[in-house]
Each structure stands twice: as C-alpha cells, then as structure tokens.
Amino acid sequence: MNAPQQPGTQFLTLEESAKVDAALLASHEKFLTRLTISSLKLLKHIAQEYGVTVEDLTAAQIIAWFEKDGKIRREQGSEAAFLKW
C-alpha cells in the first residue's frame, strides 16, 4: 500500500515512473509522458478546488489557480504552496 502523498510533493508515483521507464519510448517521449501524467493529476486537483470536472475547467480558472498558488508561495513560503518548486 502506498503512503498518502503530501499535496504537491510528488506527481508521479514510483510505479508510474517505472512504467514510463519500461515503455518503448524515446527519452523526449518519456519526458512528455511524465509531464502529461503529472498535468492530469494537477488538473484534477484544480478542478476539485473549483468544484467542477476537469472537462469544465477554463483557462481563466487554471491561470487564477496558478496565480493563487504563486501568491501563497511568495507570502507564506514554498512549503505552504501546493506546487513545491
């Protein structure tokens, strides 16, 4: 059983990463695959915060969410923000 992840700490599980590594893909395709899986997880999180489905998210909502997370990072530090970078 996997331990619960802290928000924003890891977007790709070890199992998912291993599956990408095992895939018959070029390096740049593996990178894009990891990015896409991580993006899907982030979009699900954003949609949940807005109380909508991923399909109903708008570009404006996504931009606003990133602005909010960036503001939290600037004002409270990176540990308080969802995205840890």
Question: For the chain, what percent of residues have pLDDT higher than 90?
Answer: 76
Evaluate whether residue 63 is within a structural domain: yes
Which residues have a Cβ under 8 Å from the Cβ of 81 and sit 6 or more positions away? 8, 69, 70, 72, 73
Query: Using one digit for the tens of pLDDT, what is the confidence trace for 35-72?
Result: 999 999 999 999 999 999 999 999 999 999 999 999 99
Find the farthest-apart pair of alpha carbons in the chain and give their distance in angstroms, rounded.
Answer: 43
Report the C-alpha gap between 81 and 69 in whole angstroms: 6
What range does the domain containing 50 cover?
Answer: 14-76
pLDDT at 5: 40
Residue 2 binned pLDDT confidence (cut-offs 50, 70, 90): very low
Residue 85 clears pLDDT 50, i.e. is over it: yes
How far is the CA of 25 from the CAs of 13, 18, 45, 77, in angstroms? 19, 13, 28, 37
Evaluate whether residue 24 is within a structural domain: yes
Domain count, the chain: 1
pLDDT at 73: 92
Question: What's the whole-number average pLDDT of the chain?
Answer: 88
